[in-house]
Amino acid sequence: MTYASVIVDVPAKQTDRAFDYEIPEKWEGFIQTGMRVIVPFGPRQVQGFVIEIKATSSVKKTKPISSLIDVSPILTKELLQLAGWLRDHTLCFTISAFQAMLPAALKAKYEKWIIAKDLDKIPPHLQLLFQPSSRVRFEELEGTSHYKLIKQLIEEDIVEVYYEVKDKLSKKTVRMIELNVKKDELITAKQQIPIRASAQHKLLDYFIHSNKERVEKKQLLEVLQIGTSAIQAVVKLELMKEIQEEIYRDPYENREFKKSEPLPLTAQQQEVISPILQSIEENKHKGYVMFGVTGSGKTEVYMQAVDAVLKKGKEAIVLVPEISLTPQMVNRFKSRFGSDVAVMHSGLGMGEKYDEWRKIHRKEVKVVVGARSAIFAPFENVGIIIIDEEHETSYKQEDTPRYHARDIAMERGRYHQCPVVLGSATPTLETFARGTKGVYQLLTMDKRMSDQGMPPVEIVDMREELREGNRSMFSRNLLEKLQSRLERGEQSVLFLNKRGYSSFVMCRDCGYVVECPHCDISLTYHRSSNQLKCHYCGYEEPVHATCPSCDSEHFRFFGTGTQKVEEELTKLLPNARVIRMDVDTTTKKGSHEKLLQQFGDQKADILLGTQMIAKGLDFPLVTLVGVLTADTMLNIPDFRSSEKTFQLLTQVSGRAGRHLLPGEVVIQSYSPEHYSVELASAHDYLAFYQKEMQIRKNHQYPPFYYLALVTVTHQELTKVVTVTERITSFLGMQLSKEAIILGPVSSPIARIKDKYRYQCIIKYKKEPNLHEALKRIVEKYQAQMDQEKLSIHIDLNPYMLM
């Protein structure tokens, strides 16, 4: 008899350990570590991961494994081990670590059913629920008044809970509404539809005025705010038809990539690549900070290092921030390495992601270019890990397990004895500090590839503009420069910093701001639906005409969306062709890339957008970059807000003058004297680093101190306060006198979804007891967390203090 140690998919403290199961004879020798199985666990069947095969078990009575999910391991030995590291360093459950390493398509999904064992014993008023199939979906009962009774029936063994593991890998399709007639036929047909049927008119109008022939059904329903019956009616008239469209599995499959050859490296590139090549050659783990200004040729260095790794028969992991946002980067890797590259990012559908993951798993590719979760790519012979734009906050996962991809990269780099390269023009203070202290080796590239050098940056004081009577969102200076680009046939990029900035609605007479009734946060105006929405809980309401507080009509949209900028722009520069890129224009798959392509083909003069245009774009004809609002992020209550502002302004400025034509940058700001604005315009990272390090030191923030954040949430305020108080005083007893414990204080967003939020922040240098103390807190409150919906989140090295 052989046994398997299994981590079961029941994320709870008591079950966060391996359980032993017998391996039935028929599967002996077949079941391996890293495979998923179904095992009996108490009264139910659950999924589990096999982490060890052994000849004996110290458990007296073991049950056999019920069935297999995989026929080959889906987690390598290294990843099984890495899960333990994640558990210890982020305080998550082992099972959550496993799940984080797998594509969503592979994650456990059950259908829970309540099955009647003895229908006659079920109270008559409930019997109907169990007919005709004598089973009912668990979710249908959860939260209803029957729930208590059902629970009792379970205990009396009259009904039972059954877990059905679903196979969820079906083909991905969407419902589309397609025009069945010509546009002018629509216009005549419209006249015959009764006026009352206003939804049908809306639908027809949409197609008459739009240049599209087919639109996703869901999108139509949302945008037009109509019901399905209107669509059915129009389909019945045979004006349109409803079709199922299968979505592409490989989004890059049908695209041609021109093969690119390695470029002869410049002296500067040569200098930074040689230590990396040496590490590759010697199979040595080492961390590198590649500190290179925008346009210094970092990507070419990455690609040639990857090339060296492939020549040794090894594999490469390249992380880029949410690459659906930087198609140019994907193109560069695809052109160089062709079908050896898998691409993984959140823009892909679940099935597509799974397909890309499978290519890695089956060793059909040797390079993965992907966002955060690609750090778990199941390669077994990794030769290099590269993290581009390492300062990006999207490398930190905000849900359990709360890991940072950089830490995982270092851990895997140690395991595979390979170099890890962290590249950025604006490294995080943590990383750069390690670079200067020699923990990582610092590689500097301070010259751009083009001879132009860094573009000159001009700061415009928008308060001054206002004083001189210019109420427009464009300063006179910026407008003039845009004009001159139009005349010369050159291109401009306009950047609107939307982060930390909401288009909230405010009364100009009494200052009333419309807030979400469930969360302590202002509602955001959505122009397309003319609704106010809460970004935290999804609550929405229509826009009021007058102020609900004082009835004033001076109740207007505060804040500037890209749409509004576009409107003003076309008024001021009627001849300019503008491409707008924001969440509204890029929701459809591939639209992001299409818009960039159009801009690259010079079908527009101005590219206007939010964060998504800040990174990685490289267009030869762009000679002007304008930042409309530089400082909206400075007001966020976050000790990293200056750093983030500096990084963003530097990134944006880097989009200008990357090739032959000289570029320039105009930054509009309401706080032009702020050092992060000033130093970004001077392209002076080192001065910023020194200044900011001083501030961090004085205020005891990273990288001088580590941070841990405990957030407690519950429906009742008194409960939240008492629990947080207890946690704070418990930590006070467990930790050393050097630790700084702040709290309990209300979180910056004090309430979300009707739940109050309190926090406790721990600043520390060395606290060997911290992890243990935090674990004990979770254990102590486990019962309350399960039963009373109390929640306690622990984030070690938090990136969001909200």
Interface contacts to Zn ion, rule CB under 5 A:
507, 509-510, 512, 516, 518-519, 534, 536-537, 539, 547, 549-550, 552
- The item of ligand ADP, Zn ion, none sharing an interface with residue 90, based on CB under 5 to 8 Å by kind, is none
Cβ proximity to ligand ADP: between 177 and 442 the closer is 442
Helix (H, G, I), strand (E, B) or coil at 242: strand
- Binding piece for ligand ADP, criterion CB under 6 A, among 171-179, 259-267, 309-317, 522-530: 259-267
Residue 783 tokens, joined: 């019962």
**Considering the rule CB under 6 A, would residue 668 count as an interface residue with ligand ADP?**
no
Helix (H, G, I), strand (E, B) or coil at 566: helix
**Considering the rule CB under 6 A, would residue 300 count as an interface residue with ligand ADP?**
yes
**Considering the rule CB under 6 A, would residue 265 count as an interface residue with ligand ADP?**
yes
Could you tell me if 770 and 776 are in contact, meaning their C-beta atoms sit under 8 angstroms apart? no
- Whole-angstrom distance, CA of residue 454 vs CA of residue 446: 10
Could you tell me if 427 and 404 are in contact, meaning their C-beta atoms sit under 8 angstroms apart? no
> Nearest distance from residue 79's CB to ligand ADP, in Å?
30
- Whole-angstrom distance, CA of residue 664 vs CA of residue 669: 16
Task: Report CA torsion sign: 234, 239, 244, 249.
Answer: negative
Cβ proximity to ligand ADP: between 240 and 272 the closer is 272
How many other C-beta atoms can be found within 10 angstroms of the C-beta atom of residue 742? 14
- The item of Zn ion, ligand ADP, none sharing an interface with residue 519, based on CB under 5 to 8 Å by kind, is Zn ion
Cβ proximity to Zn ion: between 512 and 675 the closer is 512
Helix (H, G, I), strand (E, B) or coil at 524: strand
The contact mask relative to ligand ADP for 584-623 (x = CB under 6 A, - = no) is ----------------------------------x-----
- The item of Zn ion, ligand ADP, none sharing an interface with residue 536, based on CB under 5 to 8 Å by kind, is Zn ion
User: Any idea which residue has 């406790």 for tokens?
Assistant: 760
- Whole-angstrom distance, CA of residue 298 vs CA of residue 295: 7
User: Among 73, 287, 292, 347, which residue sits at the site for ligand ADP (rule: CB under 6 A)?
Assistant: 292
- The item of Zn ion, ligand ADP, none sharing an interface with residue 292, based on CB under 5 to 8 Å by kind, is ligand ADP
Could you tell me if 634 and 648 are in contact, meaning their C-beta atoms sit under 8 angstroms apart? no
Residue 352 tokens, joined: 């597509």
> Nearest distance from residue 415's CB to ligand ADP, in Å?
28
The contact mask relative to ligand ADP for 779-798 (x = CB under 6 A, - = no) is --------------------
Q: What is the DSSP string of 143-187?
A: TSTTHHHHHHHHHTTSEEEEEEE----PPPEEEEEEE-S-HHHHH
Cβ proximity to ligand ADP: between 610 and 651 the closer is 651
- Whole-angstrom distance, CA of residue 668 vs CA of residue 631: 9
**Considering the rule CB under 6 A, would residue 266 count as an interface residue with ligand ADP?**
yes
- The item of Zn ion, ligand ADP, none sharing an interface with residue 791, based on CB under 5 to 8 Å by kind, is none
Residues 6+ apart with CB under 8 A from 644: 393, 633, 638
> Nearest distance from residue 668's CB to ligand ADP, in Å?
24
- Binding piece for ligand ADP, criterion CB under 6 A, among 213-221, 258-266, 374-382, 565-573: 258-266
Could you tell me if 416 and 422 are in contact, meaning their C-beta atoms sit under 8 angstroms apart? no
> Nearest distance from residue 445's CB to ligand ADP, in Å?
7
> Nearest distance from residue 43's CB to Zn ion, in Å?
38
Could you tell me if 344 and 371 are in contact, meaning their C-beta atoms sit under 8 angstroms apart? yes
- Binding piece for ligand ADP, criterion CB under 6 A, among 294-302, 311-319, 632-640, 781-789: 294-302
**Considering the rule CB under 6 A, would residue 653 count as an interface residue with ligand ADP?**
no
User: Any idea which residue has 């080492």 for tokens?
Assistant: 286
Residue 791 tokens, joined: 């929640």
Residue 259 tokens, joined: 């093969």
Which residues in 445-474 contact ligand ADP (CB under 6 A)?
449
**Considering the rule CB under 6 A, would residue 397 count as an interface residue with ligand ADP?**
no
Cβ proximity to ligand ADP: between 360 and 443 the closer is 443
Helix (H, G, I), strand (E, B) or coil at 550: coil
User: Among 115, 263, 682, 745, which residue sits at the site for ligand ADP (rule: CB under 6 A)?
Assistant: 263
The contact mask relative to ligand ADP for 501-520 (x = CB under 6 A, - = no) is --------------------
- Count of residues near ligand ADP by CB under 6 A: 15
Q: How far is CA 778 from the centre of its chain?
A: 27
Cβ proximity to Zn ion: between 510 and 778 the closer is 510
Amino acid identity for residue 714 in this structure: H
Cβ proximity to Zn ion: between 691 and 753 the closer is 753
User: Among 5, 96, 294, 647, which residue sits at the site for ligand ADP (rule: CB under 6 A)?
Assistant: 294
- Whole-angstrom distance, CA of residue 409 vs CA of residue 371: 13
How many other C-beta atoms can be found within 10 angstroms of the C-beta atom of residue 737? 6
Could you tell me if 57 and 4 are in contact, meaning their C-beta atoms sit under 8 angstroms apart? no
The residues with which 81 forms a beta bridge, in sequence order, are: none
Residues 6+ apart with CB under 8 A from 729: none
- The item of Zn ion, ligand ADP, none sharing an interface with residue 266, based on CB under 5 to 8 Å by kind, is ligand ADP
**Considering the rule CB under 6 A, would residue 295 count as an interface residue with ligand ADP?**
yes
Cβ proximity to ligand ADP: between 428 and 651 the closer is 651
Could you tell me if 377 and 317 are in contact, meaning their C-beta atoms sit under 8 angstroms apart? yes
**631, containing H or E segment:** none
User: Among 34, 103, 251, 297, which residue sits at the site for ligand ADP (rule: CB under 6 A)?
Assistant: 297
- Binding piece for ligand ADP, criterion CB under 6 A, among 20-28, 187-195, 295-303, 746-754: 295-303
Cβ proximity to ligand ADP: between 100 and 293 the closer is 293
Contacts 24+ apart (CB under 8 A), 782-788: 782/12, 782/13, 786/12, 788/714, 788/719
- Whole-angstrom distance, CA of residue 10 vs CA of residue 13: 9
Cβ proximity to ligand ADP: between 200 and 653 the closer is 653
Could you tell me if 52 and 78 are in contact, meaning their C-beta atoms sit under 8 angstroms apart? no
> Nearest distance from residue 548's CB to Zn ion, in Å?
8
User: Among 15, 47, 200, 269, which residue sits at the site for ligand ADP (rule: CB under 6 A)?
Assistant: 269
> Nearest distance from residue 287's CB to ligand ADP, in Å?
19
- Whole-angstrom distance, CA of residue 588 vs CA of residue 235: 23
- Whole-angstrom distance, CA of residue 44 vs CA of residue 403: 31
The residues with which 586 forms a beta bridge, in sequence order, are: none
> Nearest distance from residue 633's CB to Zn ion, in Å?
22
Could you tell me if 225 and 528 are in contact, meaning their C-beta atoms sit under 8 angstroms apart? no
Cβ proximity to ligand ADP: between 562 and 623 the closer is 623
Cβ proximity to ligand ADP: between 617 and 628 the closer is 617
Amino acid identity for residue 605 in this structure: D
Task: Find the Cα–Cα–Cα–Cα dihedral 193, 195, 198, 200, rounded to 10°.
Answer: 0
**Considering the rule CB under 6 A, would residue 15 count as an interface residue with ligand ADP?**
no
User: Among 96, 99, 296, 426, which residue sits at the site for ligand ADP (rule: CB under 6 A)?
Assistant: 296
**Considering the rule CB under 6 A, would residue 299 count as an interface residue with ligand ADP?**
yes
Cβ proximity to ligand ADP: between 231 and 443 the closer is 443
Cβ proximity to ligand ADP: between 300 and 392 the closer is 300
Residues at the interface with ligand ADP (CB under 6 A): 263-266, 269, 292, 294-300, 449, 618
